[in-house]
Amino acid sequence: MVSSPDIPDVLCRHQEVMQLVSLLGHPGESVPQSIFLTGHKSSGKSYTLMKVLDSLNIRYASVNCVEGYMPRLLFESILSQIVGETVPPSARCENIMEFILQLKIIADNHDLHESVIAVVLEGSDRLRDMNPNLLPALMRLQELSCLKKVCVILLSDVLWDKFAPSGGLPPPIQIYFPQYSQNDILKILSLDKPKDYPADFHSNYLQLFVAVFLRSCRDITELRYKAAENFSKYCEPIERGEIDINDSGKLWKHISPHLKASLQMIYMRFETGKKIATEVDSGTSMDKHSTLSSSAKYALSFELPYYAKYLIIAAFLASYNSPKEDKKLFVKLSGRNKKKVLKKNAQTKISSLVMGPRQFDLERLLAIFYSIIEEKPHISVNLLTQITSLVELQLLQKAGSDPLEAPKYKCAVGFDFIIIIAKTLSFNVTKYLVDYK
Amino acid sequence: MDSTMSVSKGCFAFKRKKKNQGPSSARFSGQLWYKAYRKSLASCEELLSILENQIFDEVFGGLIDYINACTSVKIHYEIPAATLLTGVNMPDHSSLFATLSKKIVCDCSPHVATLWSRDCSSLKASVERMCSQFMLVPSSEEADDPSCDDEEDGGPDSQDKKKIQRWNCNLKYLVSWYSNFQVHTSPKKKKKGNKAAPKSGGDAKPLIVILPDFESFSPRVLQEFILLLKGYQPKLPFVLVLGVATAVSAVHRSLPYHVSSSLRMKVFHSQPSLAYLNEVLEKVLFLPNRPFHLGGKTFKLLMDVFLFHDFSVMGFIQGYKYCMSQHFFDKDWTALSCLPEELPTAAKQLTKSDIESIRKLPSVRKHIESLSSRADQIAWLKDDNYVKEETVKLLEELHKYIAEFFASLKCLNLMTADLPGAPLEKHLRSVYVLASTCDIVKSQELKDSMKLLSLLSSDELEIKLNAMLCILNEAVENGAERLKDVTNKIDGFLPRFKTLWLPSSPSKSLRSPCKRPAKGVKSPLQSPSKILTNINSRSQFREKLKEMKDVSSYLSPFEKLRNEVLACLLENLFTAFLAPPQTKPLHELLFFDDIPAVKSYIVGSQRQAMLRGLKDPHFYLDCACCKLSDLGDILPSLPDVSIVYKLHLESGKLINMFDWMQSFLTITNPSTSFEEQTEVDPKLQARFTRAVAELQFLGFIKSSNRKTDHVTRLTWC
């Protein structure tokens, strides 16, 4: 149908490429107002599109909508890219009207009325949060600017339905990029084959690798990164001459713990030089605290001042006990009542530990703090600033917004964290929790 | 103001005159105590800055290497992010990162921007702030001119610059600026030659963005910011430096995976602040040759603030400096708080009144009373010159004592630090508190630890003695001659350890233990029947058994030696040199232990201050009219809030507003003494209302739902 040399070859995206080419690749015909490319993160949308645009020799401007915290930046960036200059334009372009005007001027100056101009907006879901006129206007750019060959291409990992335009927009032409299948992933990953090793050796490795990783990750860039990272480990024993290159069983035995450890660290990229060391560390420490949850490990990883520890425990108690119980829990000489309450609650309510933290005010926090701590420190500035620094460390959350009203807080750490902290103080938290069984 | 004489009315702008350098310092500069204070402070600050540099160098070394490595290798798509785990001592961070940024400018790249979370509430604000910091960096010509700092209030010129660039503070503009910068500077480098050569790691210097308080950034801004930077990474080589107070997982908790996967992190650890503090103590505070020392109580106060509240070394140092200024302030005789070499000259400058105040010092009085000869006592009280001479002597003595004190304290700490259960505390700082507040030699803790020490093995003892010898020798070199004796004794012990286990001696040493126990066992074995026959009661029997046990307890040569060593240490080192400073005359001159004077400043207590202000406004206002003979008095001249507060103290749980106002009126307006003032002066009423509102704001009362014209009282004394 179309002359073949123009069609770029994008692996596993042949159909989408054909669709794009059929929409944009016919110079004589009209061009759609807007095209909407959707698909999961890193499913090759931008890559495919750029390939197509490049191969069709289309003049285009590509911007990321993260930059649209000021629409001006989007407009100026688009304009300068269309003109093809690298320095920022001298003329200001504050709003969509000026943008359209300047676009026309540029088209006149550069004689662009007859050639296709593509405006690519990546991460276009962010446009929804901006000026409500912006998205409709951009989608009708062709109509508004009277340039017949302008096409706006929106890229997003959100479906068009979720754009929910209130005024109703003409739906753009949608192209959906499905997720890569296992075979696709294998094909793409095998592109990264290192030169020194035979192809089937590498593909063997990839089979093992994908089997481990596919369940938790389909992000192709992340997979590529991880595959390259682990391949060097896979080859280590071969280079050292310990394992034969064809002994896949032994190789699997060697690599599988590495892969598992690497799976734990997915999406966290640490420096490769230190990587080995940290992995060994995490491996040994995992053996040690394998029963601990991640938040418990978090609690162990840093030290808080003495009163700050009590403050965070008090905050936890305030968050997970209802104020009604305070008197029974913290006022001394009321042991009998406490037992009753315990029984009644155990039967009726859902444990508040599962319900998430409640808000509490500063006075209550301090009252609980003073009742659980043995020595009575003065309320000093130093003590109160501890609360602020706990908020800064994100161990407490500030809830009330009114600065004049008494400030309100929420405890942002969980039960495991508190248990660890309390252990360092040899303080029994569970005694003070109404719902703890 | 002649220049404002003008026919027309208008506003006249005057340029502010340049301030003199600190009016306060000018006022004090001539005075004796101020000179002594400056000297002491300067020497302390010098030591601190040396220490600070040394510690920061350790921390930053790896980080800076990493940044330099990032510039040379650029194959990754991710943004390199050096993550510095700083610990939770928040107040120290600003100085830490200020130093870091200076250091980066020196060693890596001139492009450094520091973004604090308080400035970055939105993406726009953060990008603008970042770009302006990059672009306002004085370009290479200006860089040589040290006066060209980009301070907040520079000249009009720099403000003009700012205005232009604020509009252009975005990444697009930054790209073009950066490429220009590269073009401009690269030829210059060649001309400048050696000066620029060490600076340039690669051709393109990275743009370094420091986020010192990572946790307090709003996650949303952070995500967008990182995504934005990532988009420009190919054109602008960014390097992030994240200051994380808690743990690395905090980074992953606040960033979703597609953001966190665009950072390539490398983790660096800074020194824990406790270790830093120990260094400060060892290298600055506990140096013997300082003219100023903290007494045990004050030191404990500062330590408590540190350990219990904030882990902030800066806070500790500030507190220390404050104590120092308090020690010197307005007391000319503190000029004697100086190094021993300077004592005679300092003593010469003292006036009569200074001498008088020295005489009044409690420790001096005690000293005078303890003098044996009457003539000396009279000379102390009458003869100024004699006092001067004696003070100098005593102070020299005191300096020696301090040197010995610290050396023997270190020895004691060395001996007892790793005992099981640490009866005498692990750290030198706690031992110092103990030793300088009470007589440590008589304390139960020392007795306990001596018991434990008598179980030490020979290896351990030998190692400890050797280490102790090092400390003592150093102290002796620094002028603590009296320690020489002990040092020699310990030195004498050491060779005996060697001979204990020498292969040549076993014949003797083996034989003797063989023989002696035989004797020891035999003698009781022979006798029991005899002894037992003499016994009539059970208690007698028990005593006898005890005696036999004592006799039978046999000591090996090592045990003997050990006991000897320990007895010697206790006698000649600890007892001799560890007397608390309070027992020494003139200790007030070198030790500061006036807690009440500094406590309210170091540990601020806002409620106390508020109550004090309300009860006794004179304390803060310092006006003649508010002076109260009794704190319960209410004068009409007091501020309205204070009057209202004092009146409300007299009432019960609910306060009737009308009655309250009546009593307020009788105080403020006593001339019109009607039975009840029905016609109220609106001015007075307004004053009353405002005072009540202020009281409510301070949290003493709140409106009541029970009765309409009443308020509820919230505090009780």
Q: Are residues A90 and A229 in the same domain?
A: no
Q: Which chain B residue lies closest to A123 (C-alpha atoms)? A: B227
**CA A402, CA A361: separation in Å to the nearest integer?**
12
Flag whether A218 is in a domain.
yes
Q: Which of A304, A266, A280, A282 is nearest to A386 (CA)?
A: A304
pLDDT at A346: 47
Tens of pLDDT along A60-102? 888 888 888 888 888 888 888 888 776 555 667 888 888 898 8
Q: Which long-range contacts (CB under 8 A, 24 or more apart) does B358-363 make?
A: B358/B333, B358/B387, B358/B391, B358/B586, B359/B387, B361/B586, B361/B588, B361/B589, B362/B588, B363/B582, B363/B584, B363/B585, B363/B586, B363/B587, B363/B588
* A31 plus A154 within the same structural domain: yes
pLDDT band at B688 (very low <50, low <70, confident <90, very high): very high
* B202 pLDDT tier (thresholds 50, 70, 90): very low
Contact B170 A386 (CB under 8 A): no
Question: In chain A, positions 31-50, which contact chain B (CB-CB < 8 Å)?
Answer: 41-42
| pLDDT at residue A315, rounded to an integer | 92
Domains of chain A: total: 3
Q: Give A276's contacts in chain B (Cβ within 8 Å).
A: none
Report the Cα A190 to chain-centroid distance in Å: 27
Contact criterion met (CB < 8 Å) for B605 and A379: yes
Give A269 to chain B, closest Cα distance, Å: 5
pLDDT average, residue stretch B11-24: 56
Verify that A260 and A321 share a domain, yes or no. Answer: no
Q: What is the CATH number of the domain that holds A169?
A: 3.40.50.300
Considering the domain architecture, whether residues A163 and A70 belong to the same structural domain is answered as: yes
Q: Are residues A59 and A29 in the same domain?
A: yes
Question: Nearest C-alpha of chain A: how many angstroms from B221?
Answer: 11
Q: Give just the sign of the alpha carbon dihedral A71, A72, A77, A80.
A: positive
Measured between alpha carbons, how far is B227 from B222 in angstroms, rounded to an integer?
9
- Provide ipTM, 2 decimals: 0.85
Residue A362, chain B, CB below 8 Å: the answer is no
> Higher-confidence residue: A292 or B429?
B429
pLDDT, tens digit, 9 for 90 and up, residues A379-413: 888 888 888 888 888 888 888 766 666 688 999 88
- Average pLDDT, whole number, for chain A? 80
CA-CA distance, B90 to B100, in Å (whole number)?
16
Lowest mean pLDDT of A31-35, B72-76, B271-275, name the range. B72-76
Query: Which position has the higher pLDDT, B20 or B110?
Result: B110
How high is the pLDDT of residue B18? 54
In this complex, do B307 and A70 lie within 8 Å of one another by their Cβ atoms? no
CA angle A57, A62, A65 (to 5 degrees): 165
**For residues A276 and A347, what is the distance between their CA atoms, to the nearest angstrom?**
51
The answer to the question of residue A3 being in a domain is: no
Q: What are B5's two structure tokens?
A: 């004489």
Same domain as A157, residue A34: yes
> What pLDDT digit, counting tens, does each position of B355-371 carry?
888 888 888 888 888 88
Question: Does A428 touch chain B if contact means CB atoms closer than 8 Å?
Answer: no
Q: How confident is the model at residue B679 (pLDDT cuts 50, 70, 90)?
A: confident
> Dihedral (C-alpha) A211, A213, A214, A217: value to the nearest 10 degrees?
180
- CB nearest B263 (choices: A42, A269, A381): A269
Put simply, whether A268 touches B (Cβ < 8 Å) is yes
Tell me how far apart the terminal alpha carbons of chain B are, to the nearest angstrom.
54
- pLDDT score of B431 more than 90: no
pLDDT, tens digit, 9 for 90 and up, residues A228-250:
888 888 888 888 877 777 787 88
Task: Give the best-scoring range by mean pLDDT among A232-246, B6-20, B93-107.
Answer: B93-107
CA distance B670 to chain A (A): 37
pLDDT at B153: 39
Q: Are residues A21 and A167 in the same domain?
A: yes
Q: What is the pLDDT, as a whole number, of residue A385?
A: 86
Q: What percent of chain A has pLDDT over 90?
A: 5
d(CA B314, CA B300): 16
Tally C-beta pairs within 8 A across A and B. Answer: 149
Neighbours of B604 (CB within 10 A): 16
Spatial separation of the C-alpha atoms in residues B75 and B369, rounded to whole Å: 82
Min Cα separation B368/chain A (Å): 40
- Which pLDDT score, from 0 to 100, does residue B141 have? 39
What mean pLDDT is reported for chain B?
78
pLDDT in tens, B308-338: 888 888 889 989 999 988 888 888 778 888 8
> Mean of the pLDDT values across residues B576-602?
84
- Whether residue A276 is contained in a domain is answered as no
Beta strands in A57-172 (DSSP E): 59-64, 117-122, 150-156
Of A265, A288, A318, the one marking the end of a domain is A265
Nearest CA in chain A to B85: A302
The range of the structural domain enclosing residue A152 comes to 14-177
For residue B215, the chain A residues in CB contact (below 8 A) are 392-394
Structure tokens at A259: 């892969």
Question: Are B257 and A267 a contacting pair at CB < 8 A?
Answer: yes
Whether residue A284 lies inside any domain: the answer is no
Residue type, A267: Y
Encoded tokens for A39:
């698909």
Q: Is the pLDDT at A117 greater than 90, yes or no?
A: no
pTM above 0.80, yes or no: no
Residue in B77, B231, B309 closest to A386 by CB: B309
Q: Is residue A189 part of a domain?
A: yes
C-alpha of A411 from chain center: 24
| Span between the terminal Cα atoms of chain A, in Å | 72
Greater confidence (A156 vs B419) lies with A156
Single out the residue of B568, B416, B558 nearest to residue B492, CA to CA: B568
Is A165 found in the same domain as A107? Answer: yes
The candidate with the shortest Cα–Cα distance to B339, out of B402, B389, B387, B274, is: B402
| A170 shares a domain with A25 | yes
Q: Do A33 and A129 share a structural domain? A: yes
The helix/strand/coil state of B595 is helix
Q: Does A287 touch chain B (CB under 8 A)?
A: no
pLDDT at residue B691, as a whole number: 94
d(CA A409, CA B465): 55
Out of A177, A205, A239, a domain closes at A177
Of A124, A150, A177, the one marking the end of a domain is A177
Interface of A with B in 136-175 (CB under 8 A): none
**pLDDT for the residue B687:** 93
Alpha carbon distance A209, A263 (integer Å) = 10
Q: Mutation target for A interface from B309, B599, B606: give the one with most A CBs within 10 A.
A: B309
A343 domain residue, yes or no: no
Q: Which residues of A touch B598 (CB under 8 A)?
A: none
Position A380 in a domain: yes
Q: What is the pLDDT of residue B693?
A: 92
| pLDDT(B187) > 70 | no
Nearest Cα residue to B613 out of B645, B651, B655:
B645
Helix axes B458-477, B484-500, angle to 10 degrees: 150
Q: Are residues A92 and A132 in the same domain?
A: yes
- Taking residues B186-192, what's their average pLDDT? 43
Residue in B with minimal Cα distance to A76? B172
pLDDT for the residue A312:
92
pLDDT at A278 over 60: no
Per-residue DSSP letter, A270: B
Cα distance between residue B641 and residue B688, in whole Å:
8
Span A126-141, average pLDDT: 85
* Partner B contacted by A90 (CB < 8 A): no
Residues B411-435, mean pLDDT to the nearest whole number: 83
Which pLDDT does position B64 carry in this prediction? 87
Q: What is the side-by-side order of every strand in the sheet holding B238-244?
A: B112-114, B207-211, B238-244, B79-85, B263-269
Q: Is residue A45 part of a domain?
A: yes
Q: What is the pLDDT of residue B288?
A: 80
Give just the sign of the alpha carbon dihedral A22, A24, A30, A35: positive
Same domain, A173 and A213: no
> Lowest mean pLDDT: which of A1-5, B149-153, B495-499?
B149-153
The residue of B70, B75, B79, B88 whose CB has the most chain A CBs within 10 angstroms, and thus the best one to mutate to test that interface, is B88
CATH number, position A320: 1.10.10.10
- Note whether A87 contacts B: Cβ–Cβ < 8 A: yes
